Amino acid sequence: MKNIVIGTAGHIDHGKTSLIRAITGRETDTLKEEKNRGISINLGFTFFDLPSQRRAGIIDVPGHEKFVKNMLAGVSGVDIVLLVIAADEGVMPQTKEHFEILQLLNVKKGIIVLTKTDMVDEEWVSMIEEDVKGEFKGTFLEGAPICRVSSKTKTGIPELIETIDKLTEDTDGKDVEGHFRLPVDRSFSVSGFGTVVTGTIISGRAKIGDTVEIYPSKVKTKIRSIQIHGNPSEVGEAGQRCAINLANVKTTEVGRGCVVATEDIMEPTMILDCNLYYLKSMEKPLLNRQRVRLYHGTNEILCRVILLDREELKPGETAYVQLRLEEELTAQRNDRYVIRSYSPMYTIGGGTIIEPVSHKAKRFDEEHIEDMKIKESGKTESILENTVKNLSVEFPDCAQILKSLGKNEEAIEEKLEELIGDKKILKLVSLEKPVYIHIDYLKECMAKIETLLLDYHKKNPLKVGISKEELKNKIFGKKLKQKLYAEALGEMEERFLIKVTDKFVSLYTFEIKLNKEQERVKDLLLKTYSEGQYNTPKYNDVISNEKDKKACQMVFELLLDGEKLIKLQDDCIFTKENYDKAKEMVVEYINKNGKITASEARELFNSSRKYVVALLEHFDSIRLTKRIENDRVLY
């Protein structure tokens, strides 16, 4: 399921917090100072359920220019932004700065929300709407929905929620297959639990018991517990706002700006290689070694901009730069960042991190700049990655990949291992030669399986799940080797999509729920076969007085699928407890007497020949016993 995070943006006192209160019914201003002053200072967090039943996290950011750094900490992980503009004032300075930040962080989807429409007439609102359309022409908000609302009267709120829901349908999901990373926006201590951190997971997933690392300090810890929107959860994944309880960590060791992530995947750095876009709205060029404020994730760090390919950076231009930091930072390639002027503070540009752990480079060093261009394009890695992606349906080994590349790629196994380390491809090792599949192919298979199982569970609410073989044939085809199939299912099970038993596959979240009548039939069947021991009645005799024979059959098959009942032949049915006891009795008897005959088994089980023969032949088939003439011995 997609996890959606919605963020607000806009000028102070344009009604962001009131809007969230109108949508969710919850208050995000929790500080005493916020309530006294009537403005948001820190980030606020809550959630609400969309009509489609998707749960959306929502982040309320402060609009005051003094708290833009708090705003930046909140919007870096949002999928959809609500750009809030008061109808009585229109576009204001912080509206523009917040919007520039959203563009620099590559936010792609948004809704323009005109608030306080109850304070102006229709003609004025229409004029403001036209002004807004002109202001954002040529940007990602051109053509974006514009919703008119009043948080006071609730006018337009239902329509806004419907618009949000519709926009989430084609919003790209977060990267749940990558390394787990959570930029910390709050850290506090809870009596009896210890240190808790909160934030939005930007990639990967983590579960209770996982070992994680706090960056840049590199303190290792374990996850004690996870809460998603205040509810306990076994796992948290990309796109979810969560609180994580960390073991044996003090609040002084982790705070806003830290990153909690998979252990040993990143290195703290003092130098970043980046591309930098300098805003067109700037009045003066950016000079070499200019001191600025860097915003990455939830972090704010002072640094100097080293222009590598020019003497100065003019407004509207992009350059290759090094950011030389005054404190350590932990980042990954392709992360987005924003820079603001040192003093007075205002947003001046931003871009993408090309090399997160760099070394000091000389200006105009052509070799270093060329290396940055290659890394920026990702060309060598992309060709190999794309080849694996195209071949994934065949589960290719290294030789097949080389053949498809059409050239002798040096150190291909090392490069494949790099792609594995970057969580872009998977290596399956159940066969003699390892095979490789792309993460996107696995995601496609997972999506097909999810759709298939949703339909199957809907039609078969009392079935444990679909048979493994049927699922294999429908998703992967008959040619896929069983060992690879089992390994692929294991990968999906680790990602909390499915549950796998010896025979069946179900959705991870699926649970069989019986109504009172079905519970009664289940109890009847189990009680009857338990009391019957090894002289059990025929199934049709058990349900002879039942009116709904079809419902009884469904419950009976559920007990067989779940191995609560064991069916050896049409009329030879035992409870799992009695069946297991029969095996123990046979083994014990043979160990004591060396063998067992059918007549001896009849006495042992106090049963008729029909049931005894069925049991003994079954024990032969599972190689518990072996028949020698008229005797059985242990296999």
526, with CB counted inside 10 A (0-12, 13-18, 19+), is middle
Q: Are residues 425 and 527 in the same domain?
A: no
In a domain, 174, yes or no: no
Residues 442-449, mean pLDDT to the nearest whole number: 94
Last residue within a domain, chosen from 488, 511, 534: 511
In a domain, 327, yes or no: yes
Is the confidence at residue 371, as pLDDT, over 90?
A: no
Last residue within a domain, chosen from 262, 279, 306: 262
Residues 587-597, mean pLDDT to the nearest whole number: 95
User: Looking at the chain, how many residues does it have?
Assistant: 635
Question: Tokens in use for 413?
Answer: 């196994």
Is the confidence at residue 63, as pLDDT, over 60?
A: no
Tens of pLDDT, residue by residue over 189-236, are 988 889 999 888 888 889 999 999 999 999 999 999 999 877 899 999
Q: What is the DSSP string of 244-266?
A: EEETT--GGG--TT-EEEETTS-
CATH of the domain at 546: 1.10.10.10
Is the confidence at residue 35, as pLDDT, over 50?
A: no
Q: Are residues 290 and 391 in the same domain?
A: no
Is the confidence at residue 42, as pLDDT, over 50?
A: no
Check residue 115 and give its pLDDT.
93
Q: Are residues 164 and 238 in the same domain?
A: no
DSSP H or E stretch at residue 387: helix 379-391
Q: Are residues 79 and 153 in the same domain?
A: yes
In a domain, 175, yes or no: no
Check residue 474 and give its pLDDT.
94
Amino acid at 174: K
Which one has a higher pLDDT value, 296 or 390? 296
Q: What is the DSSP letter of 176?
A: T
| Domain limits for position 545 | 516-634
Check residue 70 and give its pLDDT.
58
Check residue 408 and give its pLDDT.
53
Q: Are residues 339 and 386 in the same domain?
A: no
Is the confidence at residue 40, as pLDDT, over 90?
A: no
Q: Are 56 and 160 in contact (CB under 8 A)?
A: no
**Which residue has 């909690």 as its token pair?**
260
Average pLDDT, the chain: 88
Q: How many domains does the chain have?
A: 5
Check residue 409 and give its pLDDT.
56
Residues 354-362, mean pLDDT to the nearest whole number: 90
CA distance to 212, 219, 220, 254, per residue, from 264 (Å): 9, 11, 9, 17
Q: How far apart are CA 428 and CA 605, in angstroms?
A: 48
Tens of pLDDT, residue by residue over 310-329, are 999 999 999 999 999 999 99
Check residue 34 and give its pLDDT.
34
Q: How far apart are CA 105 and CA 86, in angstroms?
A: 24
In a domain, 176, yes or no: no
* pTM summary value: 0.66
Question: Tokens in use for 574?
Answer: 């035992």
Q: How far apart are CA 405 and CA 55, in angstroms?
A: 43
CATH of the domain at 218: 2.40.30.10
* Torsion angle of C-alpha atoms 61, 67, 72, 75, degrees rounded to 10: 0
Check residue 266 and give its pLDDT.
85
Cα-flanking dihedrals φ and ψ of residue 250, to 5°? Answer: -90, 155
Question: Which range (37-51, 363-377, 401-415) has the least confidence?
Answer: 37-51
Q: Are 139 and 112 in contact (CB under 8 A)?
A: no
**Which residue has 């039939």 as its token pair?**
521
Q: Are residues 15 and 124 in the same domain?
A: yes
Residues 101-119, mean pLDDT to the nearest whole number: 89
Count helices and strands (H / E) in the chain.
19, 34
Is the confidence at residue 79, as pLDDT, over 90?
A: no
Check residue 66 and give its pLDDT.
47
**Which residue has 């069989």 as its token pair?**
512
- What confidence category does residue 39 fall into, taking pLDDT thresholds of 50, 70 and 90? very low
Q: Are 209 and 235 in contact (CB under 8 A)?
A: no
C-alpha R_g of the chain? 32
Q: Are 9 and 75 in contact (CB under 8 A)?
A: yes
Q: Are residues 252 and 336 in the same domain?
A: no
Closest by Cα among 310, 355, 239 to 7: 239
In a domain, 11, yes or no: yes
Which one has a higher pLDDT value, 411 or 298? 298
Amino acid at 464: V
Q: Are 159 and 166 in contact (CB under 8 A)?
A: no
Cα-flanking dihedrals φ and ψ of residue 14, to 5°? Answer: -95, 5
Q: Are residues 409 and 426 in the same domain?
A: yes
Check residue 2 and give its pLDDT.
64
- Percent pLDDT > 70 in the chain is 92
Closest by Cα among 523, 489, 488 to 504: 489
Question: Which range (44-48, 61-65, 86-90, 150-154) has the least confidence?
Answer: 61-65
Q: Are residues 387 and 372 in the same domain?
A: no
Tens of pLDDT, residue by residue over 330-357, are 988 888 899 999 988 888 999 999 888 8
Q: How far apart are CA 21 and CA 152, in angstroms?
A: 10
In a domain, 523, yes or no: yes
In a domain, 579, yes or no: yes
Last residue within a domain, chosen from 490, 511, 532: 511
Check residue 174 and give its pLDDT.
67
Q: How far apart are CA 255 and CA 361, in angstroms?
A: 31
Count Cα atoms within 13 angstroms, Cβ side, for 157. 17
Q: Are residues 407 and 289 in the same domain?
A: no
In a domain, 155, yes or no: yes
Instruction: Report the DSSP beta bridge partners of residue 572.
Output: 569
Would you tell me how many other CB atoms lie within 10 Å of the CB of residue 423? Answer: 18
Question: Which range (46-55, 119-128, 155-164, 453-462) has the least confidence?
Answer: 46-55
- What confidence category does residue 378 fall into, taking pLDDT thresholds of 50, 70 and 90? low
Closest by Cα among 118, 127, 90 to 22: 118
Check residue 246 and give its pLDDT.
96
Tens of pLDDT, residue by residue over 12-34, are 778 888 888 888 877 654 434 43
Q: Are residues 590 and 621 in the same domain?
A: yes
Q: Are residues 450 and 534 in the same domain?
A: no
- What confidence category does residue 527 fall into, taking pLDDT thresholds of 50, 70 and 90? very high
Is the confidence at residue 516, as pLDDT, over 80?
A: yes
* Torsion angle of C-alpha atoms 316, 317, 322, 327, degrees rounded to 10: 0
